[in-house]
Structure 1
Amino acid sequence: MKRNIHVLQIAFTYIGTIVGAGFATGQEILQFFTQYGRWATLTIILSTIIFVWLGTKMMLIAHDISARSYEDLNKHLFGAKAGKWITWSTLTVLVGVNSVMLAGAGSVFVEHLHLHYQTGLLITLIGTYLLLNKGIKAILHMNTIVVPLMITISLLLVHSTLSMPNPQSFITNTTDHSTLRTWISPLLYTSFNLTMAQAVLVPLGSQTFSRRTIRWGGILGGIGVGCMLMAAHFVMSAHMPGIQQFEIPMGSIAYQLGSMVEIIYIVLIFMEIFSTFVADIYGISLQIRQHIQISPKLITLFIMLTCFLISQFGFSSLLSVLYPIFGMLSLMWISKLIMAGRRRPFHSSRPHSSFRHSDSKPDNTRHG
């Protein structure tokens, strides 16, 4: 039972890390899948396979090399010198992505709570600062609550869509986009999200004692991401093309189920954005603390201030411009992860962490 709980914690944290601002609001799924019509069903299946395979592999490698942060993983994949440059490039991208998530929180407050954009940003930043002191345990516990609720609401939206006049739209909608663009989109999407998720998944894999727990957590997490992708695509397809005009399309669909469902869904969207933002800021701060010996609180404040300034450009504009660019850059990182084999880790010290549980005997053979 204890091991199963740990598996679910990893699975929910994996799902919660991928389900950030773009995913939870529906914008990300709209950009990378739903706009491609019936082909999106097949590209989502492809994405699910990649999430299961490479997400699990990333956590297992991090576990095997005792990675302190994602820089250690990058050094393992690219070598010490190139890995360092890749790490700082990834850091820059992560800051940009978290700025998008912060902007998404502001959009939630404007579009559905009728409050000021800056109010959403400040509440998110203050809450993040307060939670970061609790480390990865707070991230695990938060996702264990938020992700099951998000899955439940997604199922309600699917059930509601089944009673609409055109629930089969997800397999009948057409697209004007080329075949090449249609099939490159899921590769960009998965490579981008996995590259960004390393800030959370690397310390999670490293700080989990059992490889079996990591493996099953990764499998369930990847399948969970795929099911949520398919559910959101199914729901939004029935509302195409009008749904494209909204900053938060899934929230607009939830509105049709009544004010109570809409309020719950909007709160969950915010919580998904918030939990991913907290987790990524945690991962970024771990990375910077390996090189800069100043107060962790000052590092956190500087990262959040940077995200705040970038987020002033707005949510959908940042999402549509930055994500495809980041996806292209991530393809190189993913190709290295795919080719990564069993070789000796570049360091053998294993960090102490309270999340390492003795829920099973450790493997005697270490894989680098």
Structure 2
Amino acid sequence: MKWKKSFQLASVYVGTIVGAGFATGREIVEFFSQYGLYGLIGIIIAGLCFIWFGVKIMLLAIRLEAKSFHQLNLYMFGPYITPIINVIMFIMLLGVSAVMLSGSGSVFEEQLLLPKQLGVFVTIFLTLIVLTIGTSGLVLVNSFVVPVLITFCLMLAYLSFQLPEFWPNVMFAERFTFGVISSGFAYAAFNISLATAVLVPAANEIGDEKVVKWGGILGGAALTIILIASHVTLVQLPGVTNYHIPMAVMMETLAPIVYLIYIFIIYGEIFTSVIGNVYGLERFIRKGTSGGSLVIATCILAVAYCISIVDYSTLLSTLYPLFGYISLAFLLILVIK
């Protein structure tokens, strides 16, 4: 039973991080694949951070009996700085939710040839339904979608390995820069700080240190495997930086028979990340207001929708690196504590 809970927690961890940018491949290109071979160095750094910091955050949540990331921040930053940190994290979660919504619209528009706004509104509607179910709904969706996504990523990596130019493409490397190292830390910091909104209440609800420790290890290891598999696939695509959804392009090229299924898996991952972010925001806001959960979630999604009108790639390439370097301070304080 404990192992089952660890796997479920690992699925929630992966599902919260693997969102619009990760599943589409755009986020991986932005932080790693543009560096060619050196991108693997950044991925290893990010993977180790996912395991170590993920475990530490959840253990802290249990020991502090923290039910939201606000209580964790209060311990880490103190009563005077915490309100500022909470505002920054709130803005980041809201910004990423907007990127996710925009990404869901891009999937409908570019891959399914349907109106972008239809994709956005469908995502909002489904998110509100799952949120009314509660944490069990989040676990249920992630427990199905995450294993399927990992399977598809590994399959794409295997098919890429069969390409005649596989090794020359993987071994291709731009000139080594400090950006390779900083990207690994920034990517991990950005995603871990956002995942805190979900990991803290989830760990508190489980309340078993051994379960959350293995959940963090399994989740971090799974994220590393997906990153490596996606990276070796994406470097096979000429002009990879020019595509909004490069992983879908590779799937259409290498395995067109399951292309449509993969599109729905990408959408499923975008969907789970929207749920995770809005769930964390709703839990945070609810402590300071008397409004109902559904009303709060609707307001959050309404604001995120307004931001999501901006182009998906523009939002991602602007907000994600910015949020990543801001989040480095979060990891630094966590190390000190």
Aligned to 2:229, which of 228, 231, 238? 231
Q: For 1:338 and 1:123, how far apart are their aligned partners in 2?
A: 40
Structure 1 position 168, deviation (Å): 1.4
Alignment of 1:126-205 (within 5 A): 126-169=125-168, 171-176=170-175, 179-205=177-203
Structure 1 position 311, deviation (Å): 0.4
Aligned to 1:247, which of 232, 244, 248? 244
Structure 1 position 162, deviation (Å): 1.2
Report whether the alignment pairs 1:30 with 2:46: no
- Identify if the C-alpha distance between structure 1 residues 180 and 257 changes in structure 2 by more than 3 Å, giving closer, same or farther: closer
Q: For 1:297 and 1:46, how far apart are their aligned partners in 2?
A: 39
Structure 1 position 84, deviation (Å): 2.1
Q: 2:79 matched to which residue of 1?
A: 80
Q: Point out the more displaced range, 66-75 or 259-268.
A: 259-268
Q: Deviations over 1:209-266 (max 9, x none)?
A: 2100000010010000000000000001112x32222110001111123443111111
Q: 2:108 matched to which residue of 1?
A: 109
Structure 1 position 169, deviation (Å): 4.0
Q: 1:313 matched to which residue of 2?
A: 310
Report whether the alignment pairs 1:206 with 2:204: yes
Secondary structure of the residue aligned to 2:297 is helix
Note the aligned Cα RMSD (angstroms): 1.1
Aligned to 2:264, which of 264, 267, 271? 267
Alignment of 1:215-226 (within 5 A): 215-226=213-224
Contact 2:186–2:325 (CA under 8 A) maintained in structure 1: yes
Q: For 1:49 and 1:199, how far apart are their aligned partners in 2?
A: 20
Q: 1:16 matched to which residue of 2?
A: 15
Residue type of the alignment partner of 1:109 = F
Structure 1 position 200, deviation (Å): 0.7
Structure 1 position 170, deviation (Å): 5.5
Write out the 4+ residue segments of structure 1 that deviate beyond 6 Å after TM superposition: none
Residue type of the alignment partner of 1:22 = G
Residue type of the alignment partner of 2:181 = W
Q: Point out the more displaced range, 128-137 or 25-34.
A: 128-137
Contact 2:41–2:180 (CA under 8 A) maintained in structure 1: no
Q: For 2:204 and 2:19, how far apart are their aligned partners in 1?
A: 22
Q: For 1:175 and 1:288, how far apart are their aligned partners in 2?
A: 44
Q: For 1:313 and 1:169, how far apart are their aligned partners in 2?
A: 37
Normalising to structure 2: TM-score of the pair? Answer: 0.97
Q: For 1:271 and 1:245, how far apart are their aligned partners in 2?
A: 24
Q: Deviations over 1:18-74 (max 9, x none)?
A: 111100000000000000111111221111111100011111111111112110010
Percent identity, aligned pairs only, is 36
Q: 1:336 matched to which residue of 2?
A: 333
Q: For 2:70 and 2:19, how far apart are their aligned partners in 1?
A: 22
Q: For 2:17 and 2:232, how far apart are their aligned partners in 1?
A: 19
Structure 2 unaligned residues grouped into runs of 5+: none
Secondary structure of the residue aligned to 2:288 is coil
Q: 1:357 matched to which residue of 2?
A: none
Normalising to structure 1: TM-score of the pair? Answer: 0.89
Q: For 1:298 and 1:136, how far apart are their aligned partners in 2?
A: 17
Residue type of the alignment partner of 1:302 = C
Q: Deviations over 1:1-23 (max 9, x none)?
A: x1111010011111111111100
Alignment of 1:57-76 (within 5 A): 57-76=56-75
Contact 2:68–2:200 (CA under 8 A) maintained in structure 1: yes
Secondary structure of the residue aligned to 1:79 is helix
Q: For 1:8 and 1:296, how far apart are their aligned partners in 2?
A: 27
Secondary structure of the residue aligned to 1:61 is helix
- Identify if the C-alpha distance between structure 1 residues 308 and 130 changes in structure 2 by more than 3 Å, giving closer, same or farther: same
Residue type of the alignment partner of 1:311 = S
Secondary structure of the residue aligned to 2:291 is coil
Structure 1 unaligned residues grouped into runs of 5+: 341-368
- Identify if the C-alpha distance between structure 1 residues 172 and 135 changes in structure 2 by more than 3 Å, giving closer, same or farther: same
Structure with greater helix percent: 2
Q: For 2:258 and 2:242, how far apart are their aligned partners in 1?
A: 21
